[in-house]
């Protein structure tokens, strides 16, 4: 790989780094920093008469320019999104529906683009995005490009209240959303035609057509997921099976699916014997790819793949040898220039990590495993591509999911060929249903293959060692693993021995860092009152063990959240104790010389001969504040009256109470 032949990749790296820096550091007047830098460069060029080192200086300047550009562009988006914070006191809104989100048991959910707000009786222009949660009734859900009026006040998107809990507010921030509206009072003002609206209509029409075929109720949601990107009807058990088997990429429409569509129609067009580099064929293929991308909702991975294939088709039509790395870098640049915050979206990160990994890791390994047998070459290619994608996405998988699918190689050997058949078959089924309103028996065949896929994935996920869970690494270790992955890619391209030496050093640093973290965990002492309503759980920790007190039954989400928190703290032994508190009972807790009470009712008189360190109260605080001051240092309340203000009250509605020594 010659670096000089990858100009777009050389632009992408500093540009993306600048976007990342914009999320970490915020300068009020970045334009002055950029202007000062440009003036310094110009002055250097005018005054410097020595030519030695000029090329290096120009290269660094080139990189810094795109770094500043990425930083500036991201800052502008952050400022635009946050400007709405001062204008969220209106009680009525006019907005366009941008995206229809997954339906829940209680709400229709949409991302809306604001057009106007009403403050008192006056309407004013307003821009920005909101998350709309409309309570479900008998009404038809809105479609993209519908203009609606909503009555209600917006509130901040709720943040994570407990440690290691998924932070929905942080997730929505990178969708340009800081506030949400919950309303029962909405009104359709008008409907407009748009590509996204037409796409949604076609999706619903296809889903309705699929429901009338012979596909079973277990297989129908899988077809909708792999063909249309609609995972709303997927059963939780099916999701878990695919996740544990390492096959979730099959359910999420991505480059794999678009690649199958590309190959399917490319071979189909060959039946008409067009010239190899026919402009007409290139236009048809691009139209098909973008039509499929629009139909699936234009997710990041699909747009990336559609752009990449479009560049490759264009290069083929123009008879130019285009580097795949340059094509992928070009698609990433276009997407990031359009919306820099895409860089922080998990789908974008996983998508590009996998593709870059395949393009960089697969070719040198494939040269080592060439065989005279075409079938062995196909099998080795599938294995090497799976290994390349898994290695390149490893830091992200460990950072976000804290697990590793041990059987991913076996899974991909079986699942990828089935995915080719199912996607191609699903496209054919869609064409038949739309053109002839009949499946001609194809639905029966697809149902058999889908059933086979489900059973294989379930068998793999049920294996004892299908997945390694509870992998909680230090943030520094994750970055070191990322650096090690980049070094490994560099070694495969250059074969320089010093890369292996540095790689070995990084592996040792990871081991040392994790050992130090483990030793520090052996000295930990603390307790956590988890934010639930009512208070359901308290954990008391010492070294590698913990006592978990539960006062009510926990749902699955709460159990996972608590165990994730304890796993992240390297807790290896958990002793669970279930205690049913009556309205008049008090539980006394002690740890590390600290003493406290769990009180289910604020009306219970608290009698103690000595001062308490804390009191956990499970309902509203009605007692006068001076009574609390005389009894405990800290009151941990599930909620309290707004009129009560004191420094020694911790409201669990804001966050869990977490004490550690």
pLDDT digit string, tens, across residues 426-437: 889 988 988 888
Average pLDDT over residues 136-147: 83
Enclosing H/E stretch for 254: none
Mean pLDDT of 622-633: 58
Which candidate, 403, 383, 135, places its Cα nearest to that of 248? 403
| Res. 320 pLDDT band, cuts 50 70 90 | low
For residues 612-627, give the mean pLDDT: 65
The pLDDT assigned to 515 comes to 92
C-alpha dihedral (17, 23, 29, 34), degrees to nearest 10: 0
Which whole number is the average pLDDT over 110-125? 87
Q: What are phi and psi of 610, to 5 degrees?
A: -135, 160
Beta bridge partners of 549: 538, 577
> What is the reported pTM?
0.83
pLDDT at 319 over 70: no
As a whole number of angstroms, the distance between CA 401 and CA 470 comes to 9
Decide: 357 and 492 in contact? Cβ < 8 Å.
no
Report the alpha-carbon distance of residue 655 to residue 616 in Å, rounded: 14
pLDDT band (50, 70, 90) for residue 147 = very high
Instruction: Kindly state the tokens that stand for 372.
Output: 């005279």
**Mean pLDDT calculated for residue range 60-89:** 77
Position 642 scores a pLDDT of 46
**Cα–Cα distance measured from residue 567 to residue 166, given in angstroms and rounded to the nearest whole number:** 15
pLDDT of 610 over the 80 cut: no
Average pLDDT score, the chain: 81
Given a contact cutoff of 8 angstroms between Cβ atoms, the answer to whether 476 and 399 are in contact is no
Query: What pairs with residue 545 in β-bridges?
Result: 542, 573
pLDDT (tens digit per residue) in 558-590: 898 999 999 988 888 888 888 887 766 778 888
| Other residues' Cβ atoms within 10 Å of the Cβ of residue 511 | 12
Q: What is the pLDDT of residue 113?
A: 92
Q: Percent of the chain at pLDDT above 90?
A: 7
Neighbours of 400 (CB within 10 A): 14
Give whichever of 47-61, 159-173, 275-289, 292-306 has the largest mean pLDDT: 159-173
pLDDT for residue 388 is more than 90: no
Average pLDDT (625-644) is: 62
Reference 258, options 210, 222, 219, 291; nearest CA is 291
CB 16 within 8 A of CB 336: yes
Place of tokens 């480059």: 255
Arithmetic mean of pLDDT, 291-304: 78
Q: Which pLDDT score is estimated for 643?
A: 41
Residue 449 near residue 423, CB atoms below 8 Å:
no
Lowest mean pLDDT among 187-191, 212-216, 572-576, 625-629: 625-629
Closest residue by Cα to residue 313 from 284, 351, 274: 284
Total residues found in the chain within this entry: 661
């Amino acid at each position: 790989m010659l670096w000089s032949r990858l100009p777009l990749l050389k632009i992408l790296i500093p540009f993306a780094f600048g976007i990342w820096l914009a999320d970490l550091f915020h300068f009020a007047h970045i334009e002055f920093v950029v202007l000062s830098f440009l003036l310094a460069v110009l002055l250097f060029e005018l005054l410097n008469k020595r030519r030695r080192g000029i090329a290096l200086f120009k290269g660094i300047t080139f990189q810094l320019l795109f770094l500043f550009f990425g930083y500036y562009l991201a800052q502008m988006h952050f400022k635009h999104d946050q400007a709405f914070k001062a204008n969220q006191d209106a009680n009525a809104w006019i907005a366009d529906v941008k995206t229809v989100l997954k339906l829940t048991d209680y709400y229709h959910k949409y991302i809306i683009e604001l057009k106007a707000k009403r403050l008192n009786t006056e309407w004013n222009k307003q821009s920005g995005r909101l998350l709309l949660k409309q309570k479900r009734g008998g009404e038809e859900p809105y479609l993209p490009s519908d203009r609606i009026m909503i009555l209600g006040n917006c509130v901040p998107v709720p943040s994570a209240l407990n440690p290691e809990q998924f932070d929905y507010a942080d997730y929505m921030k990178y969708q340009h959303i800081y506030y949400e509206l919950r309303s029962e009072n909405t009104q359709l003002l008008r409907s407009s035609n748009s590509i996204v609206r037409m796409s949604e209509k076609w999706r619903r029409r296809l889903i309705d057509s699929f429901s009338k075929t012979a596909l079973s109720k277990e297989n129908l949601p899988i077809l909708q997921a792999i063909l249309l990107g609609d995972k709303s009807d997927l059963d939780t058990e099916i999701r878990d099976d695919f996740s544990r088997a390492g096959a979730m990429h099959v359910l999420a429409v991505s480059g794999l699916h678009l690649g199958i569509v590309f190959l399917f129609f490319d071979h189909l067009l060959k039946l008409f014997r067009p010239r190899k580099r026919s402009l007409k064929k290139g236009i048809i293929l691009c139209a098909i790819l973008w039509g499929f991308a629009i139909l699936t909702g234009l997710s990041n991975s699909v747009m990336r793949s559609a752009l990449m294939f479009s560049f490759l088709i264009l290069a083929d039509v123009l008879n130019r040898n285009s580097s795949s790395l340059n094509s992928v870098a070009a698609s990433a640049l276009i997407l990031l220039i359009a919306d820099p915050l895409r860089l922080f979206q998990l789908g974008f990160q996983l998508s590009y990590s996998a593709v870059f990994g395949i393009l960089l890791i697969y070719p040198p390994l494939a040269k080592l495993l060439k065989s005279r047998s075409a079938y062995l070459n196909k099998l080795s290619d599938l294995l090497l591509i799976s290994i390349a994608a898994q290695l390149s996405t490893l830091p992200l998988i460990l950072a976000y999911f804290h697990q590793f699918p041990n059987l991913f190689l076996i899974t991909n050997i079986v699942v990828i060929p089935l995915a080719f058949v199912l996607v191609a078959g699903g496209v054919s089924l869609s064409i038949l249903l739309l053109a002839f309103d009949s499946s001609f028996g194809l639905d029966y065949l697809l149902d058999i293959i889908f059933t086979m896929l489900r059973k294989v994935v379930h068998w793999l996920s049920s294996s004892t060692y299908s997945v390694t869970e509870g992998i909680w690494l230090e943030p520094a270790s994750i970055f070191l693993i990322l650096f090690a992955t980049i070094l490994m890619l560099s070694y495969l391209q250059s074969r320089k021995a010093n890369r292996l030496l540095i790689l070995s050093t990084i592996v040792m640093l990871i081991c040392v860092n994790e050992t130090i973290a483990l030793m520090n965990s052996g000295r930990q002492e603390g307790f956590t009152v988890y934010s639930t309503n009512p208070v359901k759980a308290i954990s008391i920790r010492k070294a590698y063990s913990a006592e978990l007190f539960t006062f009510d039954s926990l749902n699955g989400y709460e159990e996972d959240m608590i165990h994730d928190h304890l796993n992240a703290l390297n807790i290896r032994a958990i002793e669970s104790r279930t205690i049913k508190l009556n309205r008049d009972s008090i539980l006394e807790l002690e740890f590390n010389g600290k003493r406290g009470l769990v009180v289910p009712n604020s009306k219970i008189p608290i009698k103690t001969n000595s001062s308490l360190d804390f009191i956990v109260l499970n309902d509203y605080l009605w007692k006068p504040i001076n009574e609390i001051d005389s009894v405990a240092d800290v009151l941990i309340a599930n909620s309290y009256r707004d009129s009560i203000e004191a420094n020694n009250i911790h409201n669990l509605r804001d966050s869990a109470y977490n004490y550690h020594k």
